[in-house]
Structure 1
Amino acid sequence: MPHWLDLLPSHEKQKIRERCRSPEEYERLREKVKGPEDLEREMKVNESFASLSFQLETQPKLRESLKDQIRQDIEEYGIEKVLEVPLEAGEFEVLIEENPDTHEDQLVVAPEGNVSESIPIKPQFTEKYLAMFG
């Protein structure tokens, strides 16, 4: 049975060989590889998000205390420091959603009502809330 590379035209094979040998391609592939420390850190963050997500679903008091903490931080630090995009005004819900760019979970606030947009919380505050409530 022929290998898939054997079925390609010779100019395509040459392109693949050159790309695989280029230092830029090697560096790009190397950046994608995660070490054990990175994987361990990522697993801890994912566990914290899973725990917090479960607690937010099952414990309404925890959801309210997290919302109160976010309100307090907005008053103390200002809305620009806590949220990626300022929230106009009013009440909000706290959710955990996947970041479309990095595909990692993140804490977001969504205005209450029929609003489909959510606003990400800045990473330093996300880490703070995970440590406090996760």
Structure 2
Amino acid sequence: MDNVRARDDCDACIIHEDAVEKAKTRAKDLEGNTIVRLSDIFKVMGDPTRLRIIHALSSGEMCVCDIAAALGMEHSAISHQLRILRNMRVVKFRKQGKEAIYSLDDEHVLQLFNGGLEHARHG
């Protein structure tokens, strides 16, 4: 372990090489476009309206009109937010006649949402 110049946030001034190596190894998971995509997903999920849409869809498929009614919002506002969520593959849709039926893209979206919700409630 190497001693380094003291920083305001750490008085011990010790580098734990094993921790540094482990972090460097794990950083390979974020190489390429992965870190940008992850950041974009969190940005998209950082909007209260979009989180409310995700929460509504966590109970099952819904058409745009039903989501708008459930959230007390205009159809056009919901459509705009759904387009953003769809572009990031957070939600998907299928056509049923003239209706667009939306659902969460996959189980990962629900895991992200539920993990964040649990953390928010914990804090």
Q: Is the pair's TM-score, using the shorter chain for normalization, greater than 0.5?
A: no
For normalisation by structure 2, the TM-score amounts to 0.30
For normalisation by structure 1, the TM-score amounts to 0.28
